[in-house]
Amino acid sequence: MSRFRPTFFIPLIAFLGLVMIGGLALQGTLSGSRNPNQLPSVLIGKPAPDVPLPLLQNNQAELALDAYRGQPLLVNFFASWCAPCRAEAPALEHLSKQISIIGIAYKDRPQDTRKFLQQYGNPFVAIGRDDDGRAGMAWGVYGVPETYLIAPSGQIKWRHAGPLTRDVITTQLLAKLAEMQ
């Protein structure tokens, strides 16, 4: 009674393929190498966008990233109304000793930004104001906080969306910094 028809195996094979995708994705999520809530930046490897922004301290002067060429640089988008930004403040404080950090106040009011910096510390060498979010859009910012690592050449090397935790710093940021040396 044995009729053997290879076509009857197609559903099984297709199903196993689907399971494999699901399994790989699960494994990635469990190991942390993929996070469905994190969007990878498409600007990695491209030069940092040059959108003119007024400084927080002085409306008339502009934030110039060129001034910081020749050294690795962190650009951190933050806001006073952003809760995780408060959580990452100590981490930024710590990092500021190793690397220059530029802050960009994203859709914030200057007086609120200043109050935030007073309360949580100011790790930034310079602070720009992106009041309407257009500069953020040029960087591909979709929420705060977001942190970009810029190489001495001016290229974006790494982007992290969400607060910088010790884990992220030690496993990703420091590794990228080491590469640049």
Partner 1 sequence: MGLTEFGHFALISAFVLSLIQSLVPLVGTVRHNMQLMLVGPAAAISAAVACVIAFGALVTSFIRSDFSVALVANHSHSAKPLIYKISGTWGNHEGSLLLWILILVIYGAVLALSGRTMPTLLKARILAVQGMISSGFLAFSLFTSNPFTRLANAPIDGKGLNPILQDPGLAIHPPMLYLGYVGLSIAFAFAVAGLIGGDVDRLWAKWMRPWIMAAWCALTLGIALGSWWAYYELGWGGWWFWDPVENASLMPWLAATALLHSAIVVEKRGQLKSWTVLLAILAFSLSLVGTFIVRSGLLTSVHSFASDPARGVFILGILLVAVGIPLLLYAWRGPQLMRVADFNLKSREGALIANNMLLVVATAIVLLGTFYPLGLEMITGARITVGPPYFDATFNPVMGILVVIMVIGPVMAWRRGTTPRTKTTLLAASVSAIIAGIIGGAMVQDIAIGAVGAIMLIAWLAMGIAADIWIQLKPLQRGGLAARWHRLPTEVLGMWIAHFGIVVFLLGATGDGLFRSEQVVRIKPGEVVTIAGRDVTLVRVFERQGPNFQALTAELEYKDAASGKFIARLMPEKRVYTAERQTTTEAAIRPRLGGDDYAVLGDGDDRIGYSLRLYYKPLISWIWGGGALMAAGGLVAMIGRRRRSAVTAPLPDNVARDTA
Partner 2 sequence: MIRSGLYILLIGVFVMGSARLIPPLISTANAITAEEMLADPLLENRARNLSQKLRCLVCQNQSIDDSDADLAKDLRREVRAQLVQGKTDEAILSDLRAKYGDFVLLAPPLAKNTMALWLAPIGFLLLGIAITLGVRRRASATAPSPISQAERAQIEALKQQHKTARTCDQP
Binding site for partner 2 (CB under 8 A): 39-43, 107, 132-134, 137-140, 142-143
Tell me the C-alpha distance between 78 and 89, whole Å. 10
Q: Give the burial string for 154-176 (b: 16+ CB within 10 Å, else e).
A: bebbbbbbbbbeeebbeeebeee
> CB under 5 to 8 A by kind: which of partner 2, partner 1, none does 29 bind?
partner 1
What is the distance in angstroms between the CA of the first residue and the CA of the last residue of the chain?
Answer: 71
Q: CB under 5 to 8 A by kind: which of partner 2, partner 1, none does 143 bind?
A: partner 2
Closer of 8 and 66 to partner 1 (Cβ): 8
Per DSSP, the residues of 137-181 read: HHHT--SSSEEEEE-TTSBEEEEEES---HHHIIIIIHHHHHHH-
Task: Rank residues 19 and 137 by Cβ distance to partner 2 and give the closer one.
Answer: 137
Give whichever of 95 and 161 is closer to partner 2, judged by the CB atom.
161
Taken as a whole, the chain contains a residue count of 181
The CB density around residue 95, as the number of other CB atoms within 10 Å, is 21
15 binds, among partner 1, partner 2, none (CB under 5 to 8 A by kind): partner 1
Q: Which does 58 bind (CB under 5 to 8 A by kind): partner 1, partner 2, none?
A: none
* Interface positions with partner 1 (CB under 8 A): 1, 3-5, 8-9, 11-12, 15-16, 18-19, 21-26, 28-30, 34, 36-37, 39-40
The least CB distance from residue 6 to partner 1, in Å, is 9
Least distance from C-beta 149 to partner 1, angstroms?
19
Q: Which helix (H) or strand (E) holds 91?
A: helix 83-95
Measured from the CB of residue 16, what is the shortest distance to partner 1 in angstroms?
A: 7
